[in-house]
Amino acid sequence: CDRLHLLSLLTLWAILFLFFFPRTRLNAFREVTPVELPNCNLVKGIETGSEDLEILPNGLAFISSGLRYPGIKSFEPDKPGKMLLVDLNEEDQTVLELKIIGSKFDEYSFNPHGISTFTDEDNTVYLLVVNHPDFKSTVEVFKFQEEEKSLLHLKTIRHKLLPNLNDIVAVGPEHFYATNDHYFTDVYLKSWELYLGLAWSYVVYYSPTEVQVMADGFDFANGINISPDGKYVYISELLAHKIHVYEKHANWTLTPLKSLDFNTLVDNISVDPVTGDLWVGCHPNGIRIFFYDSENPPASEVIRIQNILTEEPKVRVVYADNGTVLQGSTVASVYKGKLLVGTVFHKALCCEL
């Protein structure tokens, strides 16, 4: 009888662990109620992902496309990734592939993930790109040459504290905070750890003279960004459905201030440079990202958070689609009344707000 009891207890735990717990974390069950915006158009020329994007103050948007990520769908698994440029001032946007210049850069293994820009006092724009050549992790530093529509490769950064990078926020030409999602080294083992929620991940500050873990214990740390005044860092914890606010100190350390809970997998965070609002690309039914089925595609959802530092931040779903129009949104960013939404491996959508 005792043995039977023990056995059923073990079974219960096994069910909790293997079924219920991960499914909750992956938010498997939620169906999406559509939230529409007027005047939405798919951006022509983007068909194989727009994983991350960043809009410059002049309306030029950088988009990373063609990510190959273990366990996640890719419509062009044999092609290298690329960096795209879209001018949001144009009525009918055209997508331009940025030429990459630099003899030390291997374009064939380019696998871009999170991106971030830094503009210095001379208005030089640096583009920092998380890259996964052969599923390793590096940060590539480029200088944007607007006239030539090209990226000049300046440097490849590797470090043992940057083993499986996801997203990055630049605070200087070679200075950044980055999230490690613990997913890339030893893919098979790590994906089981990830599935079971044992793959704790962390945030690192990197500069040429100092590299340090600044926050850890996340259940898949994903998006990261910074407030316009540079005083707060926002981190999305994908599988815990949380956004954390950290206070950033002059010595680059971070102290936790508060966190917000969501009923969706929170991916990239972009920050409106004017209002300071957070725009978050989300996966309302995340399991469909990890187990792709074209008949039942992953949905898209965009959330806007206003006044995040106050007692009662205003959280609103601005856009939601069941995957008919846009599959697997990861990121959303605004420019002059326009909303640009990117996806893991699908298209990109531009809407009027």
Site residues, ligand NAG (CB under 6 A): 34, 249, 251, 253, 296, 322-324
SS3 39: coil
Residues at the binding site are: 51-52, 115, 166-167, 222, 267-268
Two tokens at 63? 């988009």
Q: How far is the CB of 251 from ligand NAG (least distance, A)?
A: 4
Comparison of 89 and 296: residue with beta carbon closer to ligand NAG: 296
Two tokens at 294? 């074209």
Residues for the chain: how many in total? 353
Comparison of 39 and 251: residue with beta carbon closer to ligand NAG: 251
Residues at the binding site for Ca(2+) are: 51-52, 115, 166-167, 222, 267-268
Comparison of 21 and 290: residue with beta carbon closer to ligand NAG: 290
Two tokens at 150? 């090209």
Q: Are the C-beta atoms of residues 37 and 351 closer than 8 Å to each other?
A: yes
Of 105, 83, 224, 99, give the one whose Cα is nearest residue 156.
105
Bridge partner residues of 63 (DSSP): 53, 84
E-strand stretches of 208-309: 210-219, 221-226, 232-237, 242-248, 254-261, 265-271, 278-283, 300-306
Q: How far is the CB of 110 from ligand NAG (least distance, A)?
A: 33
Comparison of 135 and 291: residue with beta carbon closer to ligand NAG: 291
Please say if 113 is a catalytic residue: yes
Looking only at the bridges linking them, the beta strands covering 99-101 and 150-157 are parallel
Q: How far is the CB of 287 from ligand NAG (least distance, A)?
A: 14
Q: How far is the CB of 178 from ligand NAG (least distance, A)?
A: 19
Bridge partner residues of 215 (DSSP): 203
User: Among the options 5, 113, 159, 241, which is catalytic?
Assistant: 113
Question: Catalytic residue positions?
Answer: 113
